[in-house]
Each structure stands twice: as C-alpha cells, then as structure tokens.
Amino acid sequence: MRRIFVVGPRLASFSIGLIGAILSRGVHGLSNGVAKVPVLGYNTWNFFQCNIDQDLIIDTANLMVSLGLQDAGYNYVNIDDCWAEKNRSSTGELQPDSVRFSRGMKNLTDQVHALGFKAGIYGDSGWFTCAGYPGSFEHEDQDAQTLFADWGFDYLKYDNCAIPFDTIIQQGTMGKYVPMSNALQNLATNGSLSEPVVFSLCQWGWSQVWLWGARLGHSWRTTGDISSQWSSIASIINFNSFITQATGFYGRNDMDMLQLGNGNMTFDEAKTHFTAWALMKSPLLIGTNLSAITNETLSILTNKEILAINQDSVEPDAVSPFRWGINPDWTSNSSFPAQYWSGPSENGTVFMLINTLDTPSDMFFNLTESPWIRAGRQYSVRDLWAHTDNGTAVRNFTATSVPSHGVVALLLNDSGEEPLGIYPQCAVWFSCSSENGTYVDG
C-alpha cells in the first residue's frame, strides 16, 4: 500500500515534466538538465541597486563561501541592472562600465567561476533597461554572443522595460521574448556554450506569463517588484497562491528576489517569506548586503531542511493552498493570503501554515484536507524549523500559538494504520458512507 502512495505522485510529476519538455520546444529546461530545480544564488538589485562594481561581485562571492552559503547550495552570483556603459561600441556591442568594471567582464566571470559559482547578468527585451541602459531589442544575437559566448555568463535575467511602440514590435508579450530565446538556443546548438544559458523572464506586467513562460524560460516573474515590508510579502503570496500549478521541472513562478535582511521585517516575517518562496519552488536569490548579514538572517537562508524541499529533484510541485483559512476558499486578499498549504515531496508530504493575523493563533487542520495524505493512516511529524520530530499525527494536527505573520513548516510521513475505533469514521465528511449505504454526513 505504501508504494501506491509514494509512487503515485512521482509518476504524476514525471508525466507533467514530459509534457513541459514537449511544450517547451527549443528551450533549455528539462531536456538538458540545466536548472531542473530552482536557481539558488545572489542578486545585486535589492540592496545595492546601481551601486555595483567588480569588487562587490568578487567580495560577494567570497562571502558566500565564508558564510557557508555556497555549501548550502547557493551557486549563482548574478549582476542586475546598471553594469553597462550607456552607449554601445562603434560596432554595436554592449560594453561594461569602464570604471566600475574596468577589468572587463570575461575577467570577472573567470574569477566567479574559479570560486565555484555560475555568473548571471541582466538585460532587457526593449530599447532600454529599467534603469536606462541599452536594451537588447534588435540586438539579440549580438548581445547573446557578447554576454554568453564571449564573456562567459551562465544566466540571463531579461527585463520588460521600454517596450517599442506596437507598430515597431508587432509582437505580443510572449513574442517579445522569442528573439532572445532563439539567440540563446542558437548559441547552445552551434557549440558556443559549454552549458545552455538559464533564461529568467522578468515579465512583471499583466500578461498571464505563467501560461506561456515555460515555452521560453526557466522561470518567470509573476508580480511587480518586491519590497522589504510584510505587506509586499503577503501580497506576493496571495497572487501566487492562484497559479501554483504553473510550476514544474520545466519552469517556475519567480516570486522575485529575497528581501531577507533588508528593511524591518520581524524574524517571524522573514521566516515566512523564505519558507513560502522555497516551498512554492521559487528561485531563491539573496538580496541583502552579505558583509553586514546577521546570524538570524543567515540561519534562515541556510535552513537545509527547507532548502531540500526547494531543490527536490524528484518532485517538482509547489505547495498549494488546501484551505484559505480566515477567508472563504479562493478569496483573493493581498493582506490576508491563504493560510493552509500542502504539497508532495521526495521525502514526504509538506505542510505550510501561515498565520496572517496580527495576533498569535492556533492553527488546526485535518490531515486528509490535503490531497497528498491517505485516509486511515497516521503520520510522523517533522518540524522543519525546530528541526525536531514531533510525534505522530492521527487524523489532524494543531500548531499552537503560531506567532503573528509566522509560519509552520512540517514534513509528514506515513507511519502505519491509525488506531482502531476512531470516531467519526471519516475525518472529512464528504460523501462518506457505510457499505450498506448509510451516509455519515447525511
């Protein structure tokens, strides 16, 4: 019986993955094994914005090693906007800022690679980047050659600013990403790259990107820019709670870069931010100043039990809400998103409980509210924040005194048949009947 439970979800995810691979023809997803799981790394934008240079990138990479972040799996160091000169070269090439990146980009990627990381860079599908640097519109092949074949970057975040007028672009929201996708694909197939480039779409405008992102990229931004306030975290969780099924091995909803360590989030809010991003299988890109990182922030970012679920190479599904909690199911509420979530993982069923209220509260659920739990079984409970085994759950589970804006993350595993004689016969009374036809729910 146990095999049915364990194997079923795996088979399901495998077939979803295959469909994704077929749909994403010409893409760099499942078919080649690059970025089969969410990218873990660092990005300069959230803390440093345009105040970046080559030394910061190398210092950041060194800090990622010394702080243990590389060991925890963070293996991308990504440069965001503002790295370029405002003008292209006389032959049309992008050029790095001659002062801040004076040693050149090949020198930089060589150093980043020598430290054991991949290197990421930023571009834009329109005339300009969001901070006014050259965009790649009508320069896609040339820029792909410069950034990836010549300079050796491994990852492209591709933004959405300064879109040409309709009469010029004559493309839909997906279409404007196709020329760069094709350029990357051409480089991969003509032998210019040792590995395909990871293509991260930064399509934050309303475009239903989750319906088509997997055809072109490894991830796609679903919401506008994150801020370091709880209100932003809650609103991004709410939005993404409705599109969790878009995520799989072939690509995933990108909830934007982590704001842990920035602003004034409480410890519990920071844990919730990280847990939701990780368990919803978003890329996890650290966005704080590593030279001033606190032990608290570091302890969150290096929670290996949470990271293991994000990086699950067998089960790609995100957690999804099974009950919205204080709101009726399917309510969209940017301040009070869904509270009760679950999903499959290689090592058991994951539960995530979020106390969206401003006061501590107890949170209760019946195990079989989750579609990944078998009726009539009892489950061992692992707490992924306390790192403790918390006994056995029979029928239901209550987390007591969950802090305001706090989170509970659990891993449940089948530990045999539930004790005999428990009443009622069905914990969740939906069409539950005895053999002679007596319905216990009337």
Catalytic residue set: 159, 225
Which amino acid belongs to residue 296?
A: E
Give me the least distance between CB of 350 and ligand GLA, in Å please.
28
Cis peptide before 96 (omega within 30 of 0): no
Give me the least distance between CB of 43 and ligand GLA, in Å please.
8
Specify the residue, 282 or 342, whose C-beta has the smaller distance to ligand GLA.
Answer: 282
Specify the residue, 233 or 350, whose C-beta has the smaller distance to ligand GLA.
Answer: 233
Distance, in Å, from the CA atom of 367 to the CA atom of 374, rounded to the nearest integer, reads 8
Look at phi and psi of residue 376 and say left if phi exceeds 0, alpha if psi is from -120 to 50, else beta: left
Specify the residue, 70 or 262, whose C-beta has the smaller distance to ligand GLA.
Answer: 262
Distance, in Å, from the CA atom of 63 to the CA atom of 66, rounded to the nearest integer, reads 5
Which amino acid belongs to residue 65?
A: V
Task: Supply the DSSP symbol for 1.
Answer: -
Report the Cα 109 to chain-centroid distance in Å: 24
Cβ atoms 414, 379 nearer than 8 A = yes
CA of 66: how far to CAs of 62, 110, 220, 433, in Å? Answer: 6, 19, 31, 60
CA of 128: how far to CAs of 89, 121, 162, 206, 299, in Å? Answer: 16, 15, 5, 20, 38
The torsion of the CA quartet 351, 357, 362, 368, rounded to 10 degrees, works out to -30
Give me the least distance between CB of 321 and ligand GLA, in Å please.
26
* Partners of 402 in beta bridges: 361
Which amino acid belongs to residue 439?
A: Y
Specify the residue, 125 or 339, whose C-beta has the smaller distance to ligand GLA.
Answer: 125
Give me the least distance between CB of 391 and ligand GLA, in Å please.
43
Look at phi and psi of residue 295 and say left if phi exceeds 0, alpha if psi is from -120 to 50, else beta: alpha
Specify the residue, 129 or 207, whose C-beta has the smaller distance to ligand GLA.
Answer: 129
Specify the residue, 129 or 342, whose C-beta has the smaller distance to ligand GLA.
Answer: 129
Give me the least distance between CB of 137 and ligand GLA, in Å please.
16
Distance, in Å, from the CA atom of 178 to the CA atom of 170, rounded to the nearest integer, reads 12
Cβ atoms 438, 394 nearer than 8 A = no
Q: What are the residues binding ligand GLA (CB under 6 A)? A: 45, 80-81, 129-131, 159, 202, 204, 225
Helix 2-23 with 209-216: angle, nearest 10 deg: 80
At 62, give phi and psi (nearest 5°). -65, -40
Specify the residue, 45 or 212, whose C-beta has the smaller distance to ligand GLA.
Answer: 45
Report the chain's C-alpha Rg in angstroms: 23
Specify the residue, 193 or 237, whose C-beta has the smaller distance to ligand GLA.
Answer: 237
Pairing of strands 155-159, 118-124: parallel
Which amino acid belongs to residue 351?
A: F
Give me the least distance between CB of 174 and ligand GLA, in Å please.
18
Give me the least distance between CB of 119 and ligand GLA, in Å please.
16
Give me the least distance between CB of 176 and ligand GLA, in Å please.
15
